Amino acid sequence: MGLKEEAAVDAQLEDFLGKKIAIPATARSRASDSQKYLRQVLRNKANLDPSFPELLSREDSDFLGGSFARHTKIWPLDDIDLFLPMDGGTLVYERDRTRLPFTIMSDVGRTRLYQDRYLTNGYVDSVKVLNGFRDGLRDTYPSSQSRRDGQCVSFQTTVAATSESTGIGFDVVPCFRMIPFDGSEAFYLVPDGTGGWMRSNPRKDTELCAELHDYHNGTYRKAVRLVKYWNKTQLNDEFLSYYIELAVSKKFLALKQQIQRYGYLLHAFATAIAELKTAYTSGDLMPLVSGAPAVKAPALTDSQKAFLDADVRSANSALRAAYQDSRTDEAFQNLNAIFGKEFFG
């Protein structure tokens, strides 16, 4: 067994991650300072403006989600998901005028969302809520770009701008924390982009990511970032970032449940990209939260499918070369075929 050779390949993968893929510590630090400031600005807005939705602070509070929070974001650092649980006091969760068995969390037992600016036919309209957050950001940051973008409000800054990025952007997501009557796992309602609300749980995603990374000896997040980089450079980001994470997390969770774990990054990466192919063959992915919408698979061209097939074979060949045949040169050749000559020239 070529454990020494696989360790040598892992060292090169680590170097590649650090130089080409990882977010520099200085940029992450500036992003951290910026998101803390933005969170405080929005909370102050809620405290000072009686027409702005009240935000939870005791039963729950604003938090980061998405790949930045999960440490699976790749460079450039262009967006950070900021979730803002709103006070849902006196609201109920209905479908077809029938109340569903959930409590909407509240700090003070009241809500500011019973205003015409937020309602459509007596229901809280998520598009109107997003418009309210967009307008609040524009009032506070008149020189910055704030726009409603599907399920969030996109807010662009020039912090950490580079030749590759105009700066750090934030996706601001107002939401409700939901507690099922039966005591099952809590979740969030987030805007669905059409005025309604859909189920999600970004906190669960973050917790699972940390769990899998620890269990698999620190290889999980790195494998995900390598696959995302491959998706960006080879497929022009055809796969949604979350599709990649969901596919890979399900596989690595299944391995954990089978009491199997990875200690080498090359092994984890080969498994991750192979699982992406398996997921794509199956199509859309069901999320971890019951009742949440499926995550769409991309419509790849024939040439993109060929790239996926070939690079899965190359990853397996690299693993076999390093682990079974003790040939690092052959492993590097296969990884160069996946990532390009800049991996190991």
Clarify whether residues 115 and 159 are in a common domain. yes
Segment 207-227, tens digit of pLDDT: 999 999 999 999 999 999 999
> In terms of Cα–Cα distance, which of 52, 70, 58, 56 is closest to 201?
70
Q: What is the rounded distance in angstroms from the CA atom of residue 214 to the CA atom of residue 208?
A: 10
Helix 241-257, helix 202-215: angle, nearest 10:
50
Q: Is there a cis peptide before residue 24, judged by omega within 30 degrees of 0?
A: no
Clarify whether residues 169 and 255 are in a common domain. no
Clarify whether residues 272 and 213 are in a common domain. yes
Clarify whether residues 160 and 238 are in a common domain. no
- Tell me what pLDDT residue 1 has: 45
Q: What is the rounded distance in angstroms from the CA atom of residue 42 to the CA atom of residue 33?
A: 15
10-residue averages of pLDDT along the chain (345 residues): 77 94 86 89 92 94 95 89 96 93 93 96 97 93 89 82 70 97 96 97 97 98 98 96 98 98 96 98 96 96 97 97 90 94 71
Clarify whether residues 95 and 235 are in a common domain. no
Clarify whether residues 169 and 239 are in a common domain. no
- Tell me what pLDDT residue 3 has: 67
Helix (H, G, I), strand (E, B) or coil at 177: strand
Clarify whether residues 65 and 176 are in a common domain. yes
Say if residues 243 and 275 touch (Cβ distance below 8 Å).
no
In the block, tokens 């690079």 appear at 311
Q: What is the rounded distance in angstroms from the CA atom of residue 343 to the CA atom of residue 336?
A: 6
Clarify whether residues 137 and 272 are in a common domain. no
The string of DSSP codes covering 121-144 is TTEE-HHHHHHHHHHHHHHH-TTS
Helix 3-16, helix 302-323: angle, nearest 10:
130
Q: 200, 224, 241 — which closes off a domain?
A: 200
Sign of CA dihedral 36, 37, 39, 43: positive
Q: 146, 181, 200 — which closes off a domain?
A: 200
Clarify whether residues 162 and 63 are in a common domain. yes
Clarify whether residues 48 and 135 are in a common domain. yes
Altogether, the residues listed in the chain come to a count of 345
Clarify whether residues 245 and 323 are in a common domain. yes
Q: What is the rounded distance in angstroms from the CA atom of residue 265 to the CA atom of residue 8?
A: 11
- Tell me what pLDDT residue 167 has: 74
For the chain, the domain total comes to: 2
Q: What is the rounded distance in angstroms from the CA atom of residue 151 to the CA atom of residue 194?
A: 8
> In terms of Cα–Cα distance, which of 326, 319, 324 is closest to 13?
319
Segment 285-300, tens digit of pLDDT: 999 999 999 999 999 9
- Tell me what pLDDT residue 164 has: 63
- Model's pTM, two decimal places? 0.93
Q: What is the rounded distance in angstroms from the CA atom of residue 267 to the CA atom of residue 319?
A: 6
Clarify whether residues 195 and 61 are in a common domain. yes
Q: What is the rounded distance in angstroms from the CA atom of residue 132 to the CA atom of residue 51?
A: 9
Question: What's the domain range around 193?
Answer: 22-200
Q: What is the rounded distance in angstroms from the CA atom of residue 316 to the CA atom of residue 271?
A: 8
Report if residue 180 sits inside a domain: yes
Helix (H, G, I), strand (E, B) or coil at 306: helix
CATH number of the domain enclosing 143: 3.30.460.90
DSSP bridge partners of 172? 82, 153
Report if residue 29 sits inside a domain: yes
